[in-house]
Every structure is written in C-alpha cells, then in structure tokens.
Amino acid sequence: MIILVSKDLEDFVSGNQEGFIYFSFGTVLLGSTLPKEIVQKFSNVFSKLKQRVLWKHETESIEGLPSNVKLSKWFPQQDLLGV
C-alpha cells in the first residue's frame, strides 16, 4: 500500500509504535464551534494517550496543544486510513 501524504505527515504517523488516531467530527459539527473548555478537555485527554493524534480542526492552532497532536483543517483521510 502506498500512502500519498506529505513527508512530515508520514513521519508523524509512522514515527510511533503505538500508531495514530484520526479525530474528526466530519461534516456534522465544526470543532471551531465547540466551547473553549470542551476543546481543552479533548486536548488534555489526547496528551495522555500513547498514540499520536491527527485532529481535523478548522482553526490554525489551539492553546496548549500537546506534542503528540497534529492539527490541520484537512488531512488526506482515505490515504491515511488505507481505504
């Protein structure tokens, strides 16, 4: 299987033996509409995971984002998940 993603994204998802989690609300809900407290709770939970997290979110940055989380407005979901 060939994954067609950027080198930095490929390094991020493959650079951890624990794997990665793709987190997105899809088209149902925009993460940017969530209250700041809820976003911070997600961030706090993600910081405790062994996996790396790809978080599809409409904003450029989130205060206090842990190092195991990569934030982007868009990810090549099908390529990442091998569909």
Rounded-to-10 torsion of CA 67, 44, 65, 7: 40
Q: Each residue of 60-75: pLDDT tens digit?
A: 888 889 999 999 988 9
- DSSP H/E element including 10: helix 7-14
β-pair partners for 79: none
Q: 47: which residues sit within 8 A by CB, 6+ positions away?
A: 66, 68, 69
Confidence (pLDDT) at 20? 94
On the question of pLDDT at 1 being above 60, the answer is no
Q: Each residue of 2-61: pLDDT tens digit?
A: 456 788 888 898 888 899 999 998 878 888 888 999 999 999 999 999 999 999 998 888
Please state, in angstroms and rounded to a whole number, the distance separating the CA atoms of residues 77 and 42: 20
For 11, what's the count of Cα atoms within 13 Å in the CB-facing half-sphere?
Answer: 3
Domains of the chain from N-terminus onward: 7-81 (3.40.50.2000)
pTM (2 d.p.): 0.86
